[in-house]
Structure 1
Amino acid sequence: MAKTDFKTIDEYHRTFPAEVQERMQQIRKVIKEVAPDAEEVISYQIPAFKYKGYLIYYSAYAKHISLASPWSEAFLKEFEPELKKLKVTKSAIQLPAKNELPLGLIKRMVSFRKKENDQKI
C-alpha cells in the first residue's frame, strides 16, 4: 500500500470509488446521528471518531468495509446473533461490499459503544 498521510476523513474517502465513498458516508452519517459530539479524526490512517475516548473506526477494502474498535466481551455478546453472519475479530467486523449496509445494526453498535465510553469516565 502506498504511504499516506490523511489529515481528514474526506481526504480518506476521496481515494475510493464513488460507490465505496457513498457506503462510508452512510456509516459516517449514522455515527454523527448517534454521537453528534464525536470528534472526527484520522487514526492509524483511517477514519475514527472520538467520544470520551475512541468510539469507533471504519475503513474500506476491495470486498468489504470494516468497523473497528477493541470490542468488549459485553459488546460481542450483545450483538452475537447478528455478528454470526459476518467475519469478526477481537477488533474488527467486516461488512461485505456485496451486501446492503446494516445501518440499523451499525446505529445500535455505535450507541452501545457510546454507552461504554460514558461509563468509563
Structure 2
Amino acid sequence: MTKFADHDAYIAAAPESFQPLLVQLRAQVAKALPDAEEIIAYDMPGFGFGESIIVGYAAFSKQCGLYVSKDAITAHADDIATAGLKATKTGVTFSPRKPIPDGLVGKLALASRESLGR
C-alpha cells in the first residue's frame, strides 16, 4: 500500500475524476476547522489535534468518503438523506455525480469535533 507524505500527495494519487472533489472537500474542512492540523492517519488524509482525528477523507475506485464521528452522522442523518447521499455509522459516500454539499461538510466537521470534545 502506498504511504502518503501529505494531503497534496494523496490527492495527486487519487483517480483524476475525484481530485477536484477532494480539493474542495479539503478546503471546506479546513474552513470549518481552521485550527486543526492536517494529518495522515491510516493512510488517509484527515484533520485533527495531536492523536485525535476529527475528520478524515478518502478516494476509492468508484466513490469518495468523508469520515466523522458516529454522533455527527446521527445528528445530520436528515441532511445526508436530503442530499441523496448514503451514510454508514461513521462516513458519507459521494461522487462527482452526487457531490457532498459544502454546507454539509462544515456541519459534519463541527459536529464531529463537538462529539469528540475537541
TM-score (norm 2): 0.84
Alignment deviations for residues 71-118 of structure 1 (CA, whole Å, 9 cap, x no partner):
12xx2332121223322211221113312331111111112122223x
Pairing partner for 1:27 from 25, 28, 50: 25
Pairing partner for 2:74 from 72, 77, 84: 77
2:107 is matched with 108
Question: Secondary structure, in 3 states, of the residue corresponding to 1:42?
Answer: strand
The percentage of counterpart residues that share the same residue type is 24
In structure 2, stretches of 5+ residues that fail to align are none
Pairing partner for 1:46 from 38, 44, 56: 44
Query: Partners in 2 of 1:71 and 1:114 — Cα distance?
Result: 11
Between the two proteins, the alignment pairs up a number of residues equal to 115
Question: Secondary structure, in 3 states, of the residue corresponding to 1:67?
Answer: strand
Larger gyration radius, structure 1 or structure 2: 1
2:90 is matched with 91
**Mapping of residues 53-68 of structure 1, within 5 Å:** 53-68=52-67
CA RMSD of aligned residues (A): 1.9
Query: Partners in 2 of 1:77 and 1:68 — Cα distance?
Result: 13
Displacement of 1:50: 0.6
2:8 is matched with 10
Alignment deviations for residues 17-74 of structure 1 (CA, whole Å, 9 cap, x no partner):
44311110101101111111111111111111113721100001222210113412xx
Question: Secondary structure, in 3 states, of the residue corresponding to 1:14?
Answer: helix
Structure 1 consecutive aligned stretches of length 4 or more whose deviation exceeds 6 Å: none
In structure 1, stretches of 5+ residues that fail to align are none
Query: Partners in 1 of 2:73 and 2:6 — Cα distance?
Result: 29
TM-score (norm 1): 0.82
The question of whether the paired residues in 1 share the 8 Å contact of 2:18 and 2:95 is answered with no
